[in-house]
Structure 1
Amino acid sequence: MTMKKFLNQPENIVSELLEGLELANPDIIEVTGNNLVVNKKLKDADRVTVVTLGGAGHEPAIEGFVGEGMVDICVIGDIFAAPGYKACIEALKMADKGHGVLFVVLNHAGDMLTGNKTMKEAAKLGLNVKKVVTQEDIANAPRSNADDRRGLVGCVPVYKIAAAAAAEGKSLDEVAAIAQKFADNMATIAVAAKGATHPANGEVISTLGDDEMEVGMGQHGEGGGGRQPMKSADETAVIMADELIADLDLKAGEDVMVFINGSGSSTLMELLIVFRKVYKYLEEKDIYVKASWVGEILTVQETAGFQMFMARVDEEELKYWNAPCKTPYKVV
C-alpha cells in the first residue's frame, strides 16, 4: 500500500520538523547545530539540569517536552535512530550550570550505545553527570532482568519529576536518586492493532491481521509475543492492567499514576474509553489513581494502539509531578 503522508524530501524530515517546532514555540525552545533542542531559559538556570536523547518520529516525545520544568536539552537523531555521542557531549557541556547534569537514556540498543559512550567521554572530560536509564516495558523481560526491558513512555514522567526536584534546589545525587526511585516503580505495556510505516522510506514496520492485536509490541514494532484476536476496549484494558498490577505487585490502599498513551492512530475517544475502564478496575481493587494523562505523549507514527503506563507514587513524587512546567506539549 502506498504511504500517504504530508512530507517533503525524506532527508529533510528531521530538520524540517525541528524547524517547525521552534517556529511554533519561539518563547520556549531554540534549535542549535547537531539537532539540539534547547530550553530557552537554560542560560539562567542555577540548578541541576536534565539532558536526554532519542530518535525522531515519536512526536511529541521527546523534543516536545523541552522547556522550563522538564528537559533542558534533547539531542535528536534521525527517524527511529539515536544521535551520535559527540552531539550528546556538546549538550552536556552546554547544560552544565555548575550543579551537574542528569542524563536520561531510554533502554534501546542505539540509545544505550550512545549513552554509554557519552558517559565514558564525559568522565574523561571531568563532567559532572549522572545517568538514569528508563526500562519499564514489562513485555520483553521479567522485573528480575530489568536491564533487558525497553524504555517506553515512562521517560516522560521521569523528566518531569527529576526537573521539579532540580528546581527545588536538590543536588545532582538527590535528583538522580529521586528519578531512579520513580523509574524503579513504574511499568508499561503496549498493544497494537495496526503497525506503522517508516516515514522516510515507507517500510512497513509490523503487520497484523484485520482481526488481530498484539499485546506487548515494542516502540518500533518489535514483537511482544501477545498476538491474539482483537478484543473490546474493556477486555483489553483488563488484560493489560492485570499484567501491570502483577509486575508492580500493587496492593490495596496504594496510589498510582496512570497514562493511556496513544501510539499515533487510535483516537482520543478510544483512549478515554480505555482509561475509564482502568480507573474503575483499579478502584474496585482499592488502588487509587492520583495522577493521570490520556492522549498522545510518545507515538510511533500511525501505529494503532496505545501504551498503558502505571507507577506507584508517593506524596513527594505527586508534588513534583504537579509542579509548574512550560514545554510545547506539557504545561502545568
Structure 2
Amino acid sequence: MKMKKFINDPANLTTELLEGFALANQDLVRLEEDNTVVNKALDQADRVTIVTQGGSGHEPAISGFVGEGMIDISVVGDIFAAPGPQACVNAIKKAEKGKGVLYIVLNHAGDMLTGNLTMKQLKKEKDVRCVKVVTQEDIANAPRENADDRRGLVGCIPTYKIAGAAAAEGKSLEEVAEVAQRFADNMATLAVAVRGATHPATGSPLAELGEDEMEIGMGQHGEGGGGRQTMKSADETAEIMINGLINDLSIKEGEKVMLILNGTGATTLMELFIVYRKCEALLKEKGIEIVANHVGELLTVQEQAGFQMFMARMDDELLHYWNAPCNTPYMKK
C-alpha cells in the first residue's frame, strides 16, 4: 500500500520539519547550524545547561522540550538516526556557560556511538565540563541487572524536566547529574503496539502485526520485544503492563510513583484515558499513590498505533522538580 503523508522531497524531511518547528515556536527557540534547536534564553543562562540528541521523526520529542526549565540544545539527526558527534561537541561547547553541561543520551546503538565519541572528543576541550547521563528504561529487552542493554524510550522526557528544574534552581553540575541519574535509575517503561509505523522517507514498514495481534515490548523503531500475542482489551493490557513495571521497580505498598501514558502516534486520547483509568484503579488496590502523571503524546513513532507506559519511583525532591515551572513548546508548567 502506498504511503500517504503530506511531505515533499523525502531527502529534505528533517530540514523542512525543523524549519517549520522553529517558525511555529520562534518565541522560545531558534534553529542553528548542524540541525540544532537552541533555547532562545541560552545566552543569558548562568547555570548548568542541558544538551541532548536524537533522530527526527519522533515529534514532539525531542526538540519540543527545548526551552526554559528543560533542554537548552537539541541536536537532531535524520529520521530515526543519531546525529554525528561533531555536531554534539559543537552544541556542548556552545551550551557551556561556566557552570558545566549535562549531556543526556538515550540508549540506542547509534546514539550511544555518537555519545561516546562526543565525550572522547570533549576530553581535548580544556574549558568544557560535561557529564553524560544515559536513559535506558525499556524493561522488555533486558533484566534490570543488565540495565546497560535496555533501550531508551519516553523516560528521557521526564528526565529532561527533572534535570532542567534542578539546573534552574542553581544546583551544581554534580548535583544536577546526581538527581538525573537517581531518577533514571528508578524508572521503567513498557511499550505495546497494535500496528507498526512506516519510515516517512522510504515508506518501508517498521513492523508488521496481524489483524488480531499486538506486541507488548516493541521498541521505538519496531524492534521486537518477545511479547506478541492475541489482541487484549484495555483493562487486560493495562494489568499486564502495570504489573510488569511494578515488579521491575519492586514498588511496594505505600510508595509514590509517576505514571505516564505516551501515545506513539495513532492511538487516540480516548483509548489512553480508558487505559489510565484502569491503571489508577490497579495502583490504588495495591496501596501505591500516583503523585505525578501525564497522558498524551510526548514521543511518537510516526503513525504507530500503541503506547508506552512509564513508571518512576518518586520522592519529595523529585516531585518538586517535576512540578517546577518550565516553558517549552510542548510542556509548560
- TM bracket, shorter-chain basis: over 0.9
| 1:145 equivalenced with 2:146 (yes/no) | yes
Instruction: Tell me the amino acid that sits aligned with residue 216 of structure 1.
Output: G
Instruction: Tell me the amino acid that sits aligned with residue 17 of structure 1.
Output: L
| 1:293 equivalenced with 2:294 (yes/no) | yes
Deviations 1:95-134 (A, max 9, x none): 0000000000000000000000000001121320000000
Instruction: Tell me the amino acid that sits aligned with residue 160 of structure 1.
Output: K
Match in the other structure for 1:216:
217
CA distance in 2, matches of 1:75, 1:217: 25
Alpha-carbon shift at residue 225 of structure 1 (Å): 0.2
Instruction: Tell me the amino acid that sits aligned with residue 80 of structure 1.
Output: F
| 1:8 equivalenced with 2:8 (yes/no) | yes
Moved over 2 A (4+): none
Deviations 1:46-67 (A, max 9, x none): 0000000000000000010000
- State the SS of the aligned residue for 1:124: coil
| Structural mapping, 1:5-154, within 5 Å | 5-126=5-126, 127-154=128-155
Alpha-carbon shift at residue 215 of structure 1 (Å): 0.2
CA distance in 1, matches of 2:235, 2:134: 32
Match in the other structure for 1:173:
174
CA distance in 2, matches of 1:170, 1:221: 38
Match in the other structure for 2:203:
202
- State the SS of the aligned residue for 1:277: helix
Match in the other structure for 2:324:
323
CA distance in 1, matches of 2:56, 2:86: 18
CA distance in 1, matches of 2:55, 2:133: 18
Alpha-carbon shift at residue 290 of structure 1 (Å): 0.4
Deviations 1:283-320 (A, max 9, x none): 11000000000001100000000000000000100100
CA distance in 2, matches of 1:319, 1:191: 30
Deviations 1:160-182 (A, max 9, x none): 10010011111000000000000
- State the SS of the aligned residue for 1:173: helix
Alpha-carbon shift at residue 84 of structure 1 (Å): 0.2
CA distance in 2, matches of 1:118, 1:276: 43
Alpha-carbon shift at residue 239 of structure 1 (Å): 0.2
CA distance in 1, matches of 2:44, 2:276: 39
- State the SS of the aligned residue for 1:182: helix
Matched-pair identity in % = 68
Instruction: Count matched residues.
Output: 332
CA distance in 2, matches of 1:286, 1:20: 46
Cα RMSD (Å): 0.5
TM-score normalised by L of structure 2:
0.99
More deviation, 100-109/13-22: 13-22
Match in the other structure for 1:184:
185
CA distance in 1, matches of 2:243, 2:305: 21
CA distance in 2, matches of 1:36, 1:7: 21
Alpha-carbon shift at residue 135 of structure 1 (Å): 0.2
Match in the other structure for 1:306:
307
Match in the other structure for 2:194:
193
TM-score normalised by L of structure 1:
1.00
CA distance in 2, matches of 1:95, 1:77: 18
Instruction: Tell me the amino acid that sits aligned with residue 97 of structure 1.
Output: K
- State the SS of the aligned residue for 2:55: strand
Alpha-carbon shift at residue 272 of structure 1 (Å): 0.8
Alpha-carbon shift at residue 280 of structure 1 (Å): 1.0
| 1:272 equivalenced with 2:238 (yes/no) | no
CA distance in 1, matches of 2:209, 2:64: 30
| 1:233 equivalenced with 2:234 (yes/no) | yes
Instruction: Tell me the amino acid that sits aligned with residue 99 of structure 1.
Output: K
CA distance in 1, matches of 2:276, 2:108: 27
Deviations 1:151-202 (A, max 9, x none): 0000001101001001111100000000000000000000000000000010
